[in-house]
């Protein structure tokens, strides 16, 4: 290892944060690289200091003032694991503005404010890394930006929200209603008390915006990414998976198909990007059809390489911490931001519609019309 230690502040000690802190305390070798600077944990910001200390975080590291911790001279790198829009956004731009590198898993802030944050990072020579924002611990973003950096991407498709995938597969297997499946998922800790962000497709739309930034070089506006399915009568359906009925799932199974919430972005005519997060029918035997429960899968089509896929756990504290540690190691090695050597991205409010699917549609009993994706 080389150079003086880089001093790391972790903001938030919840499901993911506590696993990152545990790695620093219990397996520091996981943070060590052969050719990078050492990494040292110097502070942890939480809302309830006493509770965090009782949970085993050394008291001398704790503060309830994240903005102060970020501004402190003794902080070189900020790991943001608080979630939510504010104060996360303000704190992240302050860190980058001060030239401090940032690791964040916050897909909401990245999708909504990515263009401004990227600009701040580039202007101040700071690194911004966010591998955990898509696919949890499964590496997707760095491989896209680095491994496929010389390819021309034409299509991204993914099951990027484990909660909705669990609900859809549970409903299909048991033939039960959405409300029953949701109750079971909540009991098992796989759905939030307020599941709206997952089931209405917001979470998947944020992830798609981040994928599209790396794949297509634009920061799309997440509010312009359609999240409502179509109906055979031409009316829009409900958002996300809310219109998928057990009867629809049974009809799909009968036809050799499975319904999945697919986040997709594609290069279409005129160099525009089509994007949507809507339920779609996929062949039951396809890789997407076989992706069940909380699993995530992202497929990209690119030239000259062809189709490449990434699959793994999309959530969970321990698995997601692996992406955070990977980003920290990359910063220690001075490896740059998640967008690596890609050109600066522009913000774009333009989202094109998809052409009609080659394989047609499944018109389901509820009146929903699902595009069939091959």
247 binds ligand NAP (CB under 6 A): no
**Taking CB under 6 A as the criterion, which residues in 69-88 touch ligand NAP?**
81-83, 87
292 binds ligand NAP (CB under 6 A): no
114 binds ligand NAP (CB under 6 A): no
Q: Indicate the DSSP class of residue 126.
A: -
Strands (E), the chain: 6-11, 39-45, 62-63, 77-80, 101-104, 128-129, 152-159, 218-220, 228-231, 236-239, 257-268, 272-283, 295-303, 306-313, 346-348, 361-363, 368-371
321 binds ligand NAP (CB under 6 A): no
Known catalytic residue: 186? Answer: no
- Which residues contact residue 198 at a Cβ distance below 8 angstroms, ignoring those fewer than 6 apart? 161, 163, 164, 191, 192, 204, 240
164 binds ligand NAP (CB under 6 A): no
**Whose Cβ is closer to ligand NAP: residue 136's or residue 289's?**
136
324 binds ligand NAP (CB under 6 A): no
Of the CA atoms within 13 Å of residue 336, those in its CB half-sphere come to: 11
347 binds ligand NAP (CB under 6 A): no
Indicate if the alpha-carbon torsion angle 120, 123, 128, 134 is positive or negative: positive
Sheet containing 6-11, strands listed edge to edge, beginning at the edge strand earlier in sequence = 62-63, 39-45, 6-11, 77-80, 101-104, 128-129
**Taking CB under 6 A as the criterion, which residues in 24-53 touch ligand NAP?**
45-48
**Whose Cβ is closer to ligand NAP: residue 169's or residue 322's?**
322
106 binds ligand NAP (CB under 6 A): yes
Nearest alpha-carbon partner for 145 in 222, 96, 211: 211
- Single out the residue of 7, 100, 107, 227 in contact with ligand NAP (rule: CB under 6 A): 107
**Whose Cβ is closer to ligand NAP: residue 69's or residue 156's?**
69
- Find the shortest distance in angstroms from Cβ 263 to ligand NAP: 15
14 binds ligand NAP (CB under 6 A): yes
129 binds ligand NAP (CB under 6 A): no
Residues tagged active-site: 207
| Residues making contact with ligand NAP (CB under 6 A) | 12-17, 45-48, 66, 81-83, 87, 105-107, 132, 136, 315-317, 320
């Amino acid at each position: 290892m080389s150079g003086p230690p880089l001093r790391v502040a972790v903001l938030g000690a919840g499901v993911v944060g506590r696993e990152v802190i545990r790695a620093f305390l219990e397996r520091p070798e996981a943070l060590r690289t052969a050719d990078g600077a050492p990494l040292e944990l110097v502070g942890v910001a939480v809302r309830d200091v006493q509770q965090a200390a009782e949970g085993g975080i050394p008291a001398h590291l704790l503060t309830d003032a994240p903005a102060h911790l970020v501004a402190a001279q003794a902080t070189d790198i900020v790991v943001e694991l608080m979630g939510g829009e504010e104060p996360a956004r303000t704190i992240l731009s302050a860190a980058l503005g001060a030239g401090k590198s940032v690791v964040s898993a916050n897909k909401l802030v990245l999708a909504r404010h990515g263009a401004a944050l990227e600009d701040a990072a580039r202007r101040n020579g700071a690194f911004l890394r966010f591998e955990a924002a898509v696919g949890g611990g499964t590496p997707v973003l760095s491989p896209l930006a680095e491994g496929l950096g010389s390819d021309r991407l034409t299509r991204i498709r993914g099951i990027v929200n484990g909660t909705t995938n669990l609900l859809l597969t549970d409903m299909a297997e048991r033939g039960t209603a959405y409300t029953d499946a949701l109750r079971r998922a909540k009991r098992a800790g796989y759905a939030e008390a307020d599941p709206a962000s997952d089931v209405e497709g917001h979470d998947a739309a944020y992830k798609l915006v981040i994928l599209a930034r790396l794949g297509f070089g634009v920061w799309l506006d997440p509010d312009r990414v359609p999240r409502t399915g179509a109906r055979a009568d031409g009316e829009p359906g409900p958002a996300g998976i809310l219109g998928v009925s057990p009867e629809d799932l049974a009809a799909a199974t009968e036809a050799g198909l499975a319904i999945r919430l697919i986040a997709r972005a594609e290069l279409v005519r005129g160099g525009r990007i089509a994007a949507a997060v809507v339920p779609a029918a996929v062949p039951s035997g396809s890789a997407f059809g076989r992706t069940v429960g909380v699993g995530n899968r992202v497929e990209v089509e690119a030239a000259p390489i062809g189709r490449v896929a990434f699959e793994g756990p999309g959530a969970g504290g321990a698995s997601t911490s692996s992406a955070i540690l990977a980003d920290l190691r990359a910063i220690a090695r001075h490896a740059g931001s998640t967008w690596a050597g890609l050109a600066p991205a522009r913000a774009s409010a333009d989202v094109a519609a998809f052409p009609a699917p080659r394989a047609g549609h499944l018109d389901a009993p509820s009146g929903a019309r699902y595009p069939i994706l091959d």
